[in-house]
Chains A and B, each alone.
Chain A
Amino acid sequence: MSQAEPDTQAPAFQLKGSMLAITVLELVRNDLDSLDRQLAAKVEQAPDFFNNTPLVLGLDKLPEGGLEVDLQALVELCRKHGLLTLAVRTGQAAYIQAAGHLDIPVLPPSGARERKLDLGGKAPAKPAEPQYRPSRVITTPIRGGQQIYAQGGDLIVIAPVSPGAELLADGNIHVYGPLRGRALAGIKGDTNARIFCQQLAAEMVSIAGHYKVAEDLRREPLWAEAVKIGLTGDVLNITRL
């Protein structure tokens, strides 16, 4: 009966306390021109950082009694460099009022310890160390209808691979037994990938999308032998192991 009506008594929200790590731009003097230039330089060093990054503007470290900063111009300047102002931190009545006009919340002056942010501009982010990916190792026969994929690495099969089975690897494929199914190495495009098998009896072999089917493979002089298969240019090379 009341199933369609929303339950007006049920809570529609939850309030949660939370600690946010947030960047504070602490202004030490009123010099928007210099700020503009210096921010531009920072952006160049660490472009990823200045990408709609939420920001608190710290105006509480400005020297007392100096010229008042044009808050609207400051907020716009920050936005230009990819920094979005969430709040202004200040205790001064003039800035509190200016923030109110701009609809920006005001935080009390800082007492807490803050860490100087190191954008590490000098050393442009080191390329991640290539991660060691253990090979996928299969020790039981792979049957028709089964598909085994070694993502991001090599596939090692220590058992026969039946007709109708499919082996896939981003890296190399090793079969210590007869390979009677399909084997596709380097499926993400690694042209250096190889296929090794103890007995070539495959329905298809493929490296980085270059393939040969059984009809062609059977004409190979090395059919039924132990072989390695690699790619030279566009050509699959089958050589004795």
Chain B
Amino acid sequence: MLSDLTFGQYYETDSFVHRLDPRIKILILIAYVVFIFVARNFYAFLALAVFLVIAVIFSKIPFSNMIKSMKGILFIIVITVILNVFFYKGETQTVLFWIITKEALIFSAYMALRLIILVMGSVLLTFTTTPVALTDGIESLLSPLKVIKFPVHELALVMSIALRFIPILMGEADRIIMSQKARGADFDSGNVISRAKAMIPVLIPLLVSAFRRAEELGDAMDSRCYSSSAVRTKYKKLKLSARDLVATLVSIIIFVSVIFLNGLGGV
């Protein structure tokens, strides 16, 4: 079932990571992604992986859930690795099939590792942060851009609506799939093309219902006199705490150590 997809869905529990300020989590994730691409050798990667493992432990999210969330992008990782293996230009002699070099293999392995920890880091953010907190965090981080008339609030609203609709549309897709199955639709046999075709009876009703919902939501907002330019207050104000300081310090230590470990040598 679609709704079994764990990717990106908030995981309800109370933990150190859950309680962190969303802005801090977002900033740490951005820095983390940057350092994933800064890391150049095994030890640096190890430091980043250890950081991720610690974060997962402190988030109380079962490792099995983290692993499951990788299912969706496994395909992308495999494709990336294959492309890299064949097209990376190495200098040493080939080791396999005359065209694959040792560098290509190592480079691809690092690439796969990068993608995996990148996705896991992002998933950890969405697992531990409610969509509302996430958009609040982004809105707050982007608020300096208001000075140059960037529509920060509108952007945050669009994001929060989109995030809010994901589970609803997934549930809807489940229902539509069921009702088409009841009419004999077969979604899991045949080749790629016939499978894609089989999705049409699902996608069209889903689109229709997404538009219907969007219209209804717009009407509901209009009828309550919603205006994006109104000055509004927040029910939950974001506030930094000692917890956030600790998380920031730990992250800085890890990131600095990545730089040092990079000094041990390349690839």
- Is chain B a partner of chain A in the same complex? no
- Residue ranges of B at the interface with A (Cβ–Cβ < 8 Å): none
- Residue ranges of A at the interface with B (Cβ–Cβ < 8 Å): none
